[in-house]
Amino acid sequence: MNGELIVWTIYEAPDDFPDGFVTRPWTTTADGPVPGMAHLSATLDAAREAVPPGLFRLDRSPEDDPKIVESWL
């Protein structure tokens, strides 16, 4: 992983899936964040099931995109 960090972000009704939730991993690299494969879900509970176990939830920050529900580290 070379010092990379993976952050899992859950979005509600993003532009690419406006009728549900998307869980997407982002790998932080020296060149900037790189998105991983999106997991599509109909509910927030189902979206959370796509997050690997053992991570910690972070609430959305006021400066985040309004479509972000939460992130997991």
Q: Distance between CA 20 and CA 36 in Å, rounded?
A: 18
At residue 41, φ and ψ (nearest 5 deg) are: -145, 155
Tokens for 23, please give them.
């869980």
Contacts of residue 64, Cβ cutoff 8 Å, sequence gap at least 6: none
Contact 7, 70 (CB under 8 A): no
* Strand residue runs (E) in the chain: 5-12, 21-29, 32-35, 39-41, 57-59, 68-72
Tell me the pLDDT tens digit for each residue of 7-63: 999 999 999 889 999 999 999 988 899 999 999 999 999 999 999 999 999 999 999
Whether the model clears a pTM of 0.85, i.e. scores above it, the answer is yes
